[in-house]
Chain A
Amino acid sequence: MKRKPILVCMLILLCLSLPLSSVDFGLNIGNVSDFSRNVQNIFSQTNSTVLWLNTPIKDFSFAASVVYKFNYIWTSLTGSYIKPYYFDVGSFEFSGFIPLPGNTPSGIRFAAGRIQADDITGKIFSTKSDGLKVSWGINNTTLGVQSYYTGLTLKSNSSIFLSPQDTEDIDNEDVVFGPSRLVYSVYAVFQEFLLRQNASLEFLGQNDLRSEASPSVNTYYGSAVLSGPLFSTLRYSAGTSFGVLQSDNTSNFGQLITGNLSLRIPSKATSLTLSGLYTLPWGDGNTAGFVPVNEQCVSVVLPELKHDMVTYIGFETSTQRSSVFSNGFKLSSYLNKSIDSFALPVLNVNRPNLFVGGELSVYGNFLVSSEFSFMYSAGLFVFNPFSVIRGVNIIPFRVSLSATLKI
């Protein structure tokens, strides 16, 4: 019954779009088959249909898509279950650029609707969300504001789990949408401000809008990122964020440090990337540490590992020899920061700061033709024998195949 209003909204959106001139539209049919082996074997089969449209409106543009998904999951412990009739608005974006008069090149860029939201580090808040993003660019400087409401994202798509209420709502059938929170930020980007180096600064805040939520969790972050070329083919990016989590009149402080070094080899159409991520709590008895707004996975094989739980270092190489085929592999290692037994039951939680394990993953993307593409990814995770509960001897792996037909 709860899906009725969503369906009606989607139909209204589509009907509103029809009178627009020169609408480009299409249908993407996707299939994802995924098998993973960890504590239990899990097979997941997802079929999706995305109906999309793009249209220019004078100097601006409008894009929208609706998604239908069918999901079948089989697990070796609990058996199989099916999640049919899953509808959602994939994107609904009105965007454009308004040049401003004057001798100095400047303009206002905006996007509104269900759009991709990102903070400057990409590690605090990075998801599709409903809101508005406006930036003013003048010469090499961009000043921007963005604000999003997270309470219109379907619960199954939401990755925000900040308070106990957010976690409880997952199993509550009366709750359809994700937690009702407001995320906002003010940022400045200075491109090539000194020796072709770029600098970005941002303040981001997140407030729980539910008055009945107890405890309500609010978080605030200040971030700075430096990036640029060290020489023509070697680029770097280094960033840090200070975060504060406020709940029940208590404040927990944490810090996130990220780094990235990328070497491009044009003659081999290859790029090599070394990346790392480190979080640390501030103050004694601080169990929360650095808590981002939305959870993001760092591991291919173990999606339970989020970037605030581990210290991570990875080496990745990706190659694109032709326009139709690209592939790569990644070697990653993880140190335990705050992984709990709920996230990874086989882990010995009494031994923090220990090397958890290493992961090797490969991936590829093959554009067979203009309408058909094929992707694969596979990964193997090798636990450090001293980091897991004694007697556990398991090598988790994951294989995923996906195909998309664009009609």
Chain B
Amino acid sequence: MKTKKFCLKTIMVITVFISLSSFSFAQSAAFFTTVLEAESVSWEQAVYLVMAGSERLPEDAASNQAWQLFTETQWIRKIPDPQSPIKTSQYSRLIARAFKVKGGLFYTVFKNDRYSYRELVHKNVIPGSMDPGSAVKGTDALKILDKAISLFPVDANAEDK
């Protein structure tokens, strides 16, 4: 049973490494393993994933650099505790802002968690079955990020609005 579990984990790590190849080689395997095993991803982990995935960080950046960059963006007024679990809707907002996702009327006006979640559900980045108020599992966080990378090409010159 343990061997089966180990094999499964190894396959998942390899799959995610390949699918997130644009930045995965620079990240440590230990970080990905921690994220994959996480029942709930912390804000700090999510920020690191998203900032690296959207190529806002150099390849060899550390997680504290990602957090520093995140606090400077002012995407969220009240900066959360880095170790607290991130909700699906909050993760949606991070993804939407980092990848400069364009969307519908309410999302464009408010750019909050609620409409970011709905915009990403509409764009098939997040499955509609995921509860916006629940914590994000590590495997889900990576799948969502992978989908965002494939759908929203990173434009480094575009300005944050």
Q: Please report the total number of A residues contacting B with Cβ < 8 Å.
A: 17
Contact A23 B121 (CB under 8 A): no
- Of all chain A residues, the one with the shortest Cβ separation from B133 is A22
Q: A367-B122, A370-B122 are in contact. Are A56 and B106 (CB under 8 A)?
A: no
Most chain-B CB neighbours within 10 Å: which of A323, A369, A372, A407?
A369
Chain A residue at minimal CB-CB distance from B107: A370
| Binary CB contact string for chain A from 169 to 206 against chain B (1 if under 8 A, 0 otherwise) | 00000000000000000000000000000000000000
Distance, CA A55 to CA B132, complexed state (A): 9
- Chain B, residue nearest A23 (CB): B133
Check B134–A372 contact: CB distance below 8 A: no
CB-nearest residue of chain B to A25? B114
Of all chain A residues, the one with the shortest Cβ separation from B106 is A371
A54 interface residue (CB < 8 Å to B): yes
> When A371-B105, A371-B106 are in contact, do A22 and B115 touch as well, CB less than 8 Å?
no
Does B119 sit at the interface, judged by CB under 8 A?
yes
**Other-chain contact of B105, A23, A323, A369 (Cβ < 8 Å):** A369
What mask results when residues 59 to 73 of chain A are scored 1 for a CB within 8 Å of chain B, else 0?
Answer: 001000000000000
- Contact of A370 with B131 at beta-carbon distance under 8 Å, contacts A323-B124, A407-B106 already known: no
How far, in whole Å, are A22 and B131 apart by their CA atoms in the complex? 8
A21 to B135, alpha carbons, bound, how many Å?
13
| A384-407 contact mask (Cβ, 8 Å, vs B): 1 or 0 | 000000000000000000000011
User: Closest residue to B103 on the A side, CB-wise?
Assistant: A370
Residues of A within 8 A of B121 (CB): 370
Interface string of B96-130 (1 = CB under 8 A from A): 00000001111100000001001101111000000
Q: Which of B103, B104, B123 has the most CB of A within 10 A?
A: B104
How far does the alpha carbon of A346 sit from the alpha carbon of B123 in the complex, in Å? 48
Q: Pick the contact of B133 from A21, A368, A371 — CB < 8 Å? A: A21
Q: Which residue of A lies closest to B116 (CB)?
A: A370
Q: Which of A56, A367, A371, A407 is in CB contact (< 8 Å) with B131?
A: A56
What CA separation (Å) do A367 and B103 show in the bound complex? 12
Q: Which residues in A have their C-beta under 8 angstroms from that of B106?
A: 370-371, 407
Q: Are B122's CB and A24's CB within 8 A?
A: no
Interchain CB contact under 8 A, A24 and B133? yes
Which residue from A24, A55, A372 sits with its C-beta under 8 Å from B104? Answer: A372
Residues of A within 8 A of B105 (CB): 369, 371-372
In angstroms, Cα B107 to Cα A32, docked, is 25
Interface size on B, residues (CB 8 A): 17
A22 touches B134 (CB 8 A): yes
Interface centre among A23, A61, A370, A406 (most CB of B within 10 A): A370
Contact indicator per residue, chain A 341-378, by CB within 8 Å of chain B (1) or not (0): 00000000000000000000000000111111000000
Report A59 CB to chain B, min CB distance, Å: 11
B131, A369: Cβ atoms closer than 8 Å: no
User: In the complex the two chains form, is B119's CB within 8 Å of A56's CB?
Assistant: no
- Cβ of B114 to closest chain A Cβ, rounded Å: 8
Partner of A369 from B122, B124, B132, B133 at Cβ < 8 Å: B122
Cross-interface CB contact of B119 among A370, A372, A407, cutoff 8 Å: A370
The CA of A372 and the CA of B107, in the complex, are separated in Å by 12
Residue picked from A56, A61, A371, most chain B C-beta under 10 Å: A371
Q: Tell me which residues across on chain B come within 8 A of A323, comparing CB atoms.
A: 123-124
Q: Which residue of A lies closest to B120 (CB)?
A: A370
Q: Known interface pairs A22-B134, A24-B133. Does A371 touch B104 (Cβ–Cβ under 8 Å)? A: yes
Closest to B119 in A: A370
- Neighbouring B residues of A56 by C-beta, 8 Å: 131, 133-134
Which of A24, A54, A368 has the largest number of chain B CB atoms within 10 A? A24
Closest 3 CB pairs of A and B: A22-B133, A369-B104, A370-B122
Known A369-B103, A370-B103; 13 more pairs at CB < 8 Å: A21-B133, A24-B132, A24-B133, A55-B131, A323-B124, A369-B105, A370-B115, A370-B122, A370-B123, A371-B106, A371-B107, A371-B118, A406-B118
22 A-B residue pairs with CB within 8 Å: A21-B133, A22-B133, A22-B134, A23-B133, A24-B131, A24-B132, A24-B133, A55-B131, A55-B133, A61-B131, A323-B124, A368-B104, A369-B103, A369-B105, A370-B106, A370-B107, A370-B115, A370-B123, A371-B104, A371-B105, A371-B118, A406-B118
